[in-house]
Structure 1
Amino acid sequence: MATEQNTSKTMNIIVWIAQALLAAIFIWAGSMKIFRPGSLPFPWIKDNPNLALITGIVDVLAGVGIILPALLRIKPQLTIYAAYGTITLMVAACIFHISRGEAKDIGFNIFVIALAILIAWGRQKKHQ
């Protein structure tokens, strides 16, 4: 039983690290898209400034949603929904990049999908 409890604690720490990393990524990226889009090296931002603003807002909301409910222990299941939303957002981003001939640029999106899957799985397991 002690081994199972240690594994559970270790997994919880790993999921918290993933949440903090994903929240930092999304809040930073969203803030950059909202306040300094011209400083980002992505060609699609120059082609679609309104899309940059919209995705910036969505990114900030995702970053807040991935960490705050669990951290404050207020409706922590919202973190699971934010993780699923993040997966959906990143799949859409992959499709967008592939449609623009930028398939080589989706590696980071796939990394974010993996983190979000880990968070959804880890937090869902905790709430069962």
Structure 2
Amino acid sequence: MDPERIAKALADGQRLQILQRIAEHGEICCGEVCEGFDIAQATVSHHLKELLAADLVERRKQGQHAYFRFRPETLRGYLEQLQQRLGVSAFGMLAAQPQPVVASTQPDLTKPIPSSANPRS
């Protein structure tokens, strides 16, 4: 597994959308991958080549058609390796992050209004 190649493959927005489409369908032919994207077939082929090189998808040929399938084990291995390199559990790190305190601009309606602020008293 080449973590740098996987990171590069995942860094491109169109490529990530293509990978998502493949993952959603289980297995999908190249022509179906192209449907719904406003990019040239050659560009889709380039993205598929990068995903194959990163081992994020596998290709099965049947006659003249090529079918692509997502390889979740590659992504899982990449995430585990990334966690080891960082020396933390990504999920634990996210859970441990402090949440920012946001000041409310709304008045606190649970407190009584002081009598000096109420002109009718």
Q: Same fold (TM over 0.5)?
A: no
The answer to which structure has the higher helix fraction is 1
Higher Cα Rg, which structure: 2
TM-score, length-scaled by structure 2: 0.29
TM-score, length-scaled by structure 1: 0.28
